[in-house]
Copies of this chain bind each other. A is one copy, B any other.
């Protein structure tokens, strides 16, 4: 999707609610003045909108445009004022009640259900959800289902290593009645299947945060994107990634042809109770480094980062981790559980 198409979508969904002036409209879209005006001009030329100074209108009120639904403040009290988003959150909590619990074998852990819907809403705000083809690498957060509940994306593809999650997503997507979802069993160490390359408008992933693993996850995702104007979203922490790692990652993102557009600090929280991962702590390095009690508050948080391709993305040569230990561990992964097979190895070794 070219950037201008996204802007036009942001304009149309606001006009589907009500007429608006140039200055009102500009507050609901992301482009700079030159591109915003170009989007307006194209919509006028295409006959989709009309201008009677000072207002713009939809030319045909029967157009199948989903009117803009404001999720409210995504940083403190989202969804309260909006029936559409309130319902998505309610349904999401309901259908994910019996979700698979994290296993240490895949460095899993899910964010709060509310935060998954917050991410979905932020993606929606950017014009990246409606009518788009979405690629998700790893989905223990189940954001695919949150998106499916909005019924807005054109297509959602999940690639994930954990068969339990894959079955769960398929089953619940059926229940929702959203047909355009595909789920593949996929290990990030493998090459991305050719039929998934260059097919998507956006991707979402929560990469492992080792230096090599991080780039591997994001590189696979970049391969999935169509081209200029495509967008990546990742969850990325300060808890297990130093600023040097952030720097290295940003260099990689820019070199790949993307600009960072949003960095939302600690936007999402991993709830201790729901993840039921008390047992993992036994193997966290942080617990060996200092005599610590078990946590009595949620403390693992991640930032939400968006970047947009300003040119055809470049798929850089990166170093693929030699094995699973190198994928999951480096000298900053102090709150990553030791997978059972590695624990076994270490005991034997």
Given contacts A3-B243, A22-B293, A37-B290, 9 further A-B contacts (CB under 8 A): A22-B290, A32-B238, A34-B332, A53-B291, A73-B73, A246-B260, A247-B259, A250-B250, A250-B254
Chain B interface: which of A23-31, A95-103, A112-120, A339-347? A23-31
Number of this chain's copies in the complex: 2
A263 to B263, CA, bound (A): 5
A to B CB contacts below 8 Å, 18 in the list? A23-B299, A24-B296, A27-B301, A32-B240, A33-B240, A34-B242, A41-B290, A53-B291, A54-B296, A73-B75, A76-B77, A243-B259, A246-B260, A247-B310, A250-B260, A254-B254, A260-B263, A261-B263
Say if the beta carbon of A335 comes within 8 Å of chain B. Answer: yes
A32–B75 CB distance below 8 A: no
Say if the beta carbon of A35 comes within 8 Å of chain B. Answer: yes
Question: How distant is A248 from chain B, measured CB to nearest CB, in Å?
Answer: 9
In the bound complex, residues from chain B placing their C-beta under 8 Å from that of A41 are 290
- Spell out A's residues near B (CB within 8 Å): 3, 21-24, 26-27, 30-35, 37, 40-41, 53-54, 73-77, 237-244, 246-247, 250-251, 254, 259-263, 265, 286, 289-293, 295-297, 299, 301, 308, 310, 331-332, 334-335
A297 to B75, CA, bound (A): 24
Question: How distant is A316 from chain B, measured CB to nearest CB, in Å?
Answer: 15
A76 to B30, CA, bound (A): 19
A22–B261 CB distance below 8 A: no
A174 to B41, CA, bound (A): 52
- Which residue of the partner chain, among B27, B32, B73, B240, contacts A242 with CB atoms under 8 Å? B32
- Which residue of the partner chain, among B76, B241, B296, contacts A73 with CB atoms under 8 Å? B76
